[in-house]
Amino acid sequence: MATIVDVARLAGVSVSTVSHVVNGTRPVRPETRERVRAAVASVGYSTDGMARALRRAQTECIGLVVTDTGQPGFAEMIRGVEGEATTAGLTLLLADSAEDLERQLSSISALVERRVDGLLLAQVSGTPHSLLESLIARGVRVVLIDRLSTPDFDQVGVETVEPMQTLVRHLIDRGHTRIAMIAGDNAIPTLRERREGYLEAMEEGPDAGARQATIVEVASPAEARAAVHELLAAPEPPTALVAASQVIAVGTMQALSDLKLRIPDDIAVVVFDDFPHADLFRPRLTSVVQPNVALGREAVRLLVRRIKHPKAPARTIRLKAEIAHRDSCGCPPGALIQSPNPREDVR
Amino acid sequence: MATIVDVARLAGVSVSTVSHVVNGTRPVRPETRERVRAAVASVGYSTDGMARALRRAQTECIGLVVTDTGQPGFAEMIRGVEGEATTAGLTLLLADSAEDLERQLSSISALVERRVDGLLLAQVSGTPHSLLESLIARGVRVVLIDRLSTPDFDQVGVETVEPMQTLVRHLIDRGHTRIAMIAGDNAIPTLRERREGYLEAMEEGPDAGARQATIVEVASPAEARAAVHELLAAPEPPTALVAASQVIAVGTMQALSDLKLRIPDDIAVVVFDDFPHADLFRPRLTSVVQPNVALGREAVRLLVRRIKHPKAPARTIRLKAEIAHRDSCGCPPGALIQSPNPREDVR
DNA sequence: CTGTTAGCGCGTTCAT
DNA sequence: ATGAACGCGCTAACAG
């Protein structure tokens, strides 16, 4: 592979001139510039990013660590990250922690050794606060994505409490009183907040006493499936189910299918986090749809700001979520969900 | 950020000793080794991947360029690639070409400048043969993934013709004679092969004359939707539809939904490429399911082999696809599809 | 407008 | 078992 000295020799100029025409970093006589260009083309020279990174002490790369590359939500997020990174001239290094603390650790190490200019991290459940602190202390620029922490870190996530409240209130408005939530790992901030939203909606207002809140915590689709079976075997089973995530919804729907229960005729179901092509297949699930692509985009924007301004105060960004009102809640087509605040686009 | 000389000074040894204990590359007296280890820990040293890459002339990174990071199939493939890369000690650089020739070109350039040890490429439609050749000529190790080319490149894809034949034969066995295919961009090898599979199945056997093959080529879900409307407005409309891809299936199903047609009661539908959670929602589409994760895995394995053996002959690997027999083809539960050759696992 | 040169941080001979 | 020193390819002073 040709180096800069090969080009310099061939063009009959110094390496510094070559460097300057390649980078457009100082005026060069048009004639010599062309000579250099020709030499570059003829030897097929392309500048060595490693050497440049070493010299400039910056790689123009950012790292992204997610817990599961394959999940549709993360996949969209990755697309957002990739797009904005490319726009900003950054290359994306991707790692999958598989929701495993050890792997997350080694993924981060690998990226740090690669000297990424910054790191986007969707933490695994149970990530110690100290990990983030030590990273920052070592000078690594980090922004948390989706899985948030305390506000002393840069982070961008999606609003959860409010949309979940809206969803549950909607069920209440439709006359449901026994609404059960199939919740997820409480150690994951997003999931904990969704549970809070549910509880707040269930416990507010004058007729809160008439309602019966039930929460079961599950860690997998299989557990969700079992939990729903148990829930529905109770003497006074819930008439509506709230699934805390897509993964949980899968188990929930399996159980409902086992029981030959029809949605929404026999039971209402709503979900936090939308399925791809949810409009096309039935049951058409009413759900909270998260702006995954925007999430990725905003996260790299924040990271870029952080890289530019290392001393700026930490920022937390919450993106608005929308609600896709379909028919699994039992509404006739055309009905509306009343939302406390109108949607506001993030650009 | 601490460098190797900081560690050396602190430990009272030479940089070369530090290097050797870090890499375990020559015997070091246990006592000094520990001293070095301690120094490393105390300054929080981690070796600079850029400097190492420059020196060793290899980055231990591979690049992956896909046409759409967000598509479920590619998302799974990415997971396969990431997993196998990590296993092999390689870091993954990800780029999204957005099915655009220009962007593909700049993505590749970026990765080559980053001096990746190898490149996995799912080509965009219309990628010139010469692009691949010039890459190889410049010494870049490339393996094509999913979107294949002529056999003089390393490549790994999924079998298409045979599973598509099986799918169509199944429709024929069920008594359908007017089976239309909603096909995709013929310039994409995968899609072209799927069309061939359809045609071969339609034209084989003694009663081929009784069958009516129809192919419409579309480039988007919207076009697919329109095409299906047109198809079904014909005097003798097809009784079964074959969607060439997931994207095309989306448009197809929209049209069927517009027309209030029920699957499979009013019309049978089969698809090449499976939807996530296809068992959970209805209609439950009978489809070809591709081993996406394995695809990614095998591709990096092949790439690693290529890196080790630069002069080995080019290899083409085709992974077997499975058929998920559900109910959109009109079969009662429990019915079987007869497949010419039994499934064979790739390990 | 152009050239010379000193490192960036590391791995690796070659000595000792 | 350890150290000294060169150079990977490039950028950025500095000098002319």
* Per-residue pLDDT reduced to its tens digit, A132-176: 999 999 999 999 999 999 999 999 999 999 999 999 999 999 999
Structure confidence at residue A339 as a pLDDT band (50, 70, 90)? low
List B92's β-bridge partners, or say none. Answer: A94, B62
Summarize the confidence of residues B202-214 as an average pLDDT: 92
A323, B243, B248, B326 from B274: Cα distances, Å: 26, 11, 12, 11
Does the pLDDT of residue B272 top 90, yes or no? yes
- Calculate Rg over the CA atoms of chain B: 26
Percent helix, strand, coil in chain A, to 5, is 45, 15, 40
Residues of chain A in contact with residue B254, where contact means CB-CB under 8 angstroms, are: 280
Instruction: With CB atoms and an 8 Å threshold, state whether A275 touches B275.
Output: no
Mutate to test the interface with B, among A91, A106, A253, A254 (most CBs of B within 10 A): A91
What does the H/E/C string look like for chain B? Answer: CCCHHHHHHHHCCCHHHHHHHHHCCCCCCHHHHHHHHHHHHHHCCCCCHHHHHHHHCCCCEEEEEECCCCCHHHHHHHHHHHHHHHHCCCEEEEEECCCCHHHHHHHHHHHHHCCCCEEEECCCCCCCHHHHHHHHHCCCCEEEECCCCCCCCCEEEECCHHHHHHHHHHHHHCCCCEEEEEECCCCCHHHHHHHHHHHHHHHCCHHHHHCEEEEEECCCHHHHHHHHHHHHCCCCCCCEEEECCHHHHHHHHHHHHHCCCCCCCCCEEEEECCCCCCCCCECCCEEEECCHHHHHHHHHHHHHHHHHCCCCCCCEEEECCEEECCCCCCCCCCCCCCCCCCCCCCC
Distances (CA, A) of B69 to A5, A79, A278, B305: 38, 5, 19, 25
Distances (CA, A) of B42 to B11, B30, B105: 10, 18, 45
Quote the tokens at residue A26. 């100082």
The gap between B116 CA and D9 C1' (Å) is 16
Read off the pLDDT of each residue in B208-222 and give the average, rounded to a whole number. Answer: 94
Q: Is A327 on the interface with B (CB under 8 A)?
A: no
Query: Residue A344: pLDDT above 60?
Result: no
| pLDDT, position A201 | 96
Residues 6+ apart with CB under 8 A from A160: A190, A193, A194, A197, A272, A321
Kindly report the bases of strand D lying within 7 A of a protein C-beta atom.
Answer: 1-5, 7-13
Tens of pLDDT, residue by residue over B93-151, are 999 999 999 999 999 999 999 999 999 999 999 999 999 999 999 999 999 999 999 99
Interchain proximity B250–A277, CB inside 8 Å: yes
Contact A330, A239 (CB under 8 A): no
Whether any strand D atom is under 7 angstroms from the Cβ of B27: the reply reads yes
CB distance A107 to A93 below 8 Å: no
| Distance, CA of A51 to C1' of D9, in Å | 5
| Closest by Cβ to A44, choosing from B44, B83, B138 | B138
Count the alpha carbons within 13 Å of B256 in the hemisphere toward its beta carbon.
27
Is the per-residue pLDDT at B5 higher than 90?
yes
Sign of the torsion formed by the C-alpha atoms of A158, A161, A164 and A169: negative
Q: Of the given ranges (A341-345, B251-255, B330-334), which has the lowest mean pLDDT? A: A341-345
Of B93, B277, B283, the CB nearest to A91: B93
Please tell me whether any atom of strand D lies within 7 Å of the Cβ of A48: yes
Which pLDDT band holds residue B189 (cuts at 50, 70, 90)? confident
Evaluate if residue A200 carries a pLDDT over 80: yes
Q: Which chain A residue has its CA at the smallest distance from B97's CA?
A: A83
d(CA B9, CA B39): 9
**In angstroms, rounded to a whole number, what is the distance separating the alpha carbons of residues A136 and A142?**
7
Q: What are the DSSP E strand ranges found in chain A?
A: 61-66, 91-96, 118-121, 142-145, 155-158, 178-183, 212-217, 240-243, 268-272, 286-289, 316-319, 322-324
A24: which 2 tokens? 């457009």
**Residue B343: pLDDT band by 50, 70, 90 thresholds?**
very low
Instruction: Determine the Cα–Cα distance for residues B245 and B272; give it in Å rounded to an integer.
Output: 5
Q: Tell the residue number behind the tokens 């909270």, with chain if given.
A: A288
CA atom of A109 to C1′ atom of D3, Å: 30
Smallest Cα distance from B316 to chain A, Å: 25
* CB distance A303 to A93 below 8 Å: no
Name the nearest CA neighbour of B302 among B80, B67, B41.
B80
DSSP one-letter code for A232: H
Q: Please check whether residue A110 touches B, CB under 8 A.
A: yes
Residues in chain B: 347
Instruction: For residue A226, give both structure tokens.
Output: 């079992």
pLDDT digits (tens, 9 = 90+) for A1-56: 899 999 999 999 999 999 999 999 999 999 999 999 999 999 999 999 999 999 99
pLDDT of B286: 97
Q: What is the pTM of this model?
A: 0.93
Q: In degrees, to the nearest 5, what angle opens at C-alpha A249 toward C-alphas A247 and A252?
A: 120
**Residue A165 CB-half CA count within 13 A:** 15
**What value does the mean pLDDT of chain B take?**
94
**Element at A248 (helix H, strand E):** helix A246-258
Please say if the pLDDT value at position A314 is more than 50.
yes
Q: Is residue A137's beta carbon less than 7 angstroms from any atom in nucleic acid strand D?
A: no
- Read off the tokens for A38: 């020709």
The pair of structure tokens assigned to A11 is 């063009």
**Residue closest to D3 C1′ by Cα:** B14
Chain A nearest-CA distance from B207, in A, is 35
Statement: residue B29 has pLDDT above 80: yes
* Digit-coded pLDDT (tens) for A245-286: 999 999 999 999 999 999 999 999 999 999 999 999 999 999
The string over A247-269, giving b where at least 16 C-beta atoms fall within 10 Å of a residue's C-beta and e elsewhere, is bbbbbbbbbbeeeebebbeebbb
Angle between helices A72-87 and B72-87 (to 10 degrees): 80
Q: What is the CA radius of gyration of chain A?
A: 26
- The tokens for B237 are 């409309």
Q: Which residue has the higher pLDDT, A318 or B346?
A: A318
Confirm whether any atom of chain D, the nucleic acid strand, is less than 7 Å from CB of B57.
yes
pLDDT surpasses 60 at A346: no
Give yes or no for residue B313 having a pLDDT over 60.
yes
CB atoms within 10 A of CB A128: 10
Q: Residue A163: in which H helix or E strand, if any? A: helix A161-173
The answer to whether the Cβ–Cβ distance between A109 and B282 falls below 8 Å is no
Residues of chain A found within 8 Å of residue B280, distances taken between Cβ atoms:
250, 253-254, 257
Residue burial B99-134, b: 16+ Cβ < 10 Å; e: rest? beeebbeebbebbbbbbbbbbbbbbbbebeeebbee
- pLDDT-derived band of residue A338, with 50, 70 and 90 as boundaries? low
For B56, how many CA atoms within 13 A lie in the half-sphere containing its CB?
A: 13
Cα B68 to Cα B104: distance, rounded to the nearest angstrom: 11
Q: Which residues of the protein are close to the nucleic strand C, CB under 7 angstroms?
A: A 12-17, 20, 26-29, 31-33, 51, 54-55, 57; B 1, 3-5, 15-16, 19-20, 22-23, 25, 45, 47-48, 51-52, 54-56
d(CA A242, CA A231): 12
* d(C-alpha B113, C-alpha B96), whole Å: 16
Residue A48 CA to residue B112 CA, distance in Å, equals 9
Which of chain C's bases lie under 7 Å from a protein CB? 1-5, 7-13
Are residues A220 and A271 in contact, defined by beta-carbon separation less than 8 angstroms?
no
The vertex-A322 CA angle with A318 and A326, nearest 5°, equals 155
- Angle between helical axes of B30-43 and B4-11 (0-180°, round to 10): 130
Residue B341 confidence (pLDDT) above 50: no
Contact A190, A160 (CB under 8 A): yes
Query: What are the tens digits of pLDDT across the range A77-120?
Result: 999 999 999 999 999 999 999 999 999 999 999 999 999 999 99
Question: Using CA of residue B72, residue B76, residue B81, residue B83, what is the dihedral sign?
Answer: positive
What is the mean pLDDT of the segment spanning B320-334?
Answer: 90
